[in-house]
Each structure stands twice: as C-alpha cells, then as structure tokens.
Amino acid sequence: MKRTVRHLADLKGKRPIVGLTAYDAIMGGLVSDAGVDFILVGDSVGTTLLGHETTIPVTMEDMVRHTAAVRRSSPQCLLVADLPFAEASMSFDRFLDSARRLMQEGGADAIKVEGGRDLADDVEKLVATGIPVLGHIGLLPQTVKAIGGYRKFGADREEAERLYTDAISLEEAGCFAIIAEMVEEEVATELAGQLIPPLIGIGSGQGCDGQILVTPDLLGMTPGPVPSFVRPYANLSEEISSALGRYVRDVRERKR
C-alpha cells in the first residue's frame, strides 16, 4: 500500500519512525525493501555520489534526476526530496516552482527545506497549495560554511530557545514532520514532547520520534571519517574494493 505523510503522523507516540537516504534506483529499491517509513533524496547526493565537498553545488537538475531514479524503484514508499541551496530564499514563486518540479518531474511525495522561522511564512503558503513540507532545524548543511563547520546546536539557553521558536514556527506553518540535525539530546527530547508533528533526529539522541541517516554512512561506503553519531552496520567500501581487486587479478591471470 502506498505510504503518505499521514503514515508518519500516525506513528508518533506508537513506534520510532525510520528514514534513510537514497540517490539512485538500485539503492532506492534496497532501502524501500528494508521496510523504512520514508526515503529522503537528500542534497547529500552532492557529497556522497557527485564528489562535491559540500551540498552547495547541487542543482535542481541534480535533485530532479536523482529523485526520479529513486521513484522508479520504490513506487510505494513515501519519497521526500531536498530543495537545494538557495531555492527557498530567492522568492516565493521560485520556491513554488522548484517544489513543483520535484513533485511533477521527480515524482516526490513531499519536499524538505532547511530553515526555521525565517522560512515559515513561505512554507505556510507552499503547504496551502497542497505541497507537503518536511522541515529541518539545527545543523543546516547548506549553511555550514557560514557557521564555520559542523557542530552541535542547543548547548546554551539562547540557542535552545531559537531552536524551539524555529520548530514551533514550522509546526504552525503546517510541516508534517521536522528533522532535527545535531541538536543536543536533552533539547531534542523536549522538543519532541512539545511538538504535534514528529521530530526525526539525525545525531540528536534517542528522544526523538524517529531517526534518519545517510545510507552510505550507515553502510560504510563513505570515504574518510563519518559523523561521530553514526554506527556503521557494514564496511561495504572494504568489501567492494576487495571484490573489484579480485576481479582485476582474475582477468589478468586468465582465471575468467
């Protein structure tokens, strides 16, 4: 049965929500078959598949293409697509057109936007057009250069209050769920208890209504270090390298 945003709302208070990223048809099918509640086609495609150092170079064309690929292999899964850098801050017309493209051309069921109270008015207008929106607070990868790198959010009272304001603003704007990235666990747990929509954590502790991770990090496919909150469930990078090396040797030794 096709899953919708209502499915996530219904899970709050019953069991943890599970989300993972996917960027292509093969991984989309595997993630969907694993039984996740939703798939995010994140702009993290830029740092995982496209070789960029940050998510900032990712374009609308990139997001539409990768979203469509995942949709083809996971037709029944709730599919959320990231709005890339600056698309939400240009103008509302640009915001609406970009969201429309992700749904019409990419096949997304909903879009994700980074930001809080600064975007709430436009998010509310977008939701009013019938486009479901997943919010994102805390660490915002699209602004990582502006904040000087990756860090936890909510350690002091002032920052915790800003996170609360952001979350409430997105709730009032109509977001069906909100991602909290690298938020102090105590703050995230309190937010999850106060919000009506589910709060889905990434690096924000176990008190959220669910968890999402970047799939290549989870599978041990990411070159170099992964975030400290990631516990890899496999080491596919090593296994793939070993398999490829064996194939090269077998061909050269005429064993194949």
Active-site residue list: 181
Residue 182 has which token pair?
A: 């690298």
Q: How far apart are CA 139 and CA 187, in angstroms?
A: 14
- 140 to 113, 117, 213, 227: CA distances (angstroms): 10, 14, 15, 14
Q: Is 7 helix (H, G, I), strand (E, B) or coil?
A: helix
Taking residue 237's Cβ as centre, other Cβ atoms within 10 Å add up to 15
Residue 72 has which token pair?
A: 């083809």
Query: In sequence order, which ranges of 45-194 are alpha helices (DSSP H)?
Result: 45-48, 60-73, 92-104, 120-128, 144-147, 157-173, 185-194
Taking residue 229's Cβ as centre, other Cβ atoms within 10 Å add up to 16
Q: How far apart are CA 125 and CA 121, in angstroms?
A: 6
**Paired strand residues for 124:** none
Q: How many Å separate Cα 112 from the centre of its chain?
A: 7
Q: Is 82 helix (H, G, I), strand (E, B) or coil?
A: strand
Q: How far apart are CA 231 and CA 130, in angstroms?
A: 37
